[in-house]
Amino acid sequence: MTIIKTLKAPKAIGPYSQGILVKDTLYVSGQLPVELETGVKIDDVYAATLKSLAYILEIVKAAGMVKENICKCTVYLKDLGDFATMNKAYSHFFGDHKPARAAFEVSKLPKDVVVEIDCIAVK
C-alpha cells in the first residue's frame, strides 16, 4: 500500500490521504471544489464539478496513471436538482471515456460545498 499525495490538489482536511494505491488500484478520497491557494469554495455547480474532477486527475497522475484509468466515480451533490448541470460538466471532463458512476443528494458536505467527487482508478 502506497500513500499518494500531490501539492496540485487540496491537502486532506482530516485523518485520511488524498489517495491510496494498492497494487494496481488507486482509491482517491473525495475532492472538494475549493481554490487551491485560498481554500475558498466554488459555488457554481458546473465550475465546482470541473474543479473536483481536476483535483482527482492530479492525484491520479501522481500515482502514474491517466484519466482513462478512472473506472468508477461517486458524486455527492448538495442538491439533486443540480444533477443536469453536474452531468454536463462531468461529460465535458470525461469526453468519450465513461467510468461507472453513482450520484447522490446528501444533506451536508464538508465546507458546505455543492459537490464532492471520489474515484477508483486501475492501471
Reported as a pLDDT band with limits 50, 70 and 90, residue 42 is: very high
**Cα–Cα dist 45/109, whole Å:** 14
Q: Are 81 and 66 in contact (CB under 8 A)?
A: no
CATH code of the domain containing 75 = 3.30.1330.40
- Number of domains within the chain: 1
Would you state the pLDDT for residue 13? 82
Confidence of residue 101 (pLDDT cuts 50, 70, 90): very high
Helix and strand numbers, DSSP H then E, in the chain: 2, 6
Expressed as residue numbers, the domain containing 112 is: 2-122
Which residue has cell 467510468? 99
Dmax over Cα atoms in the chain, in whole Å? Answer: 38
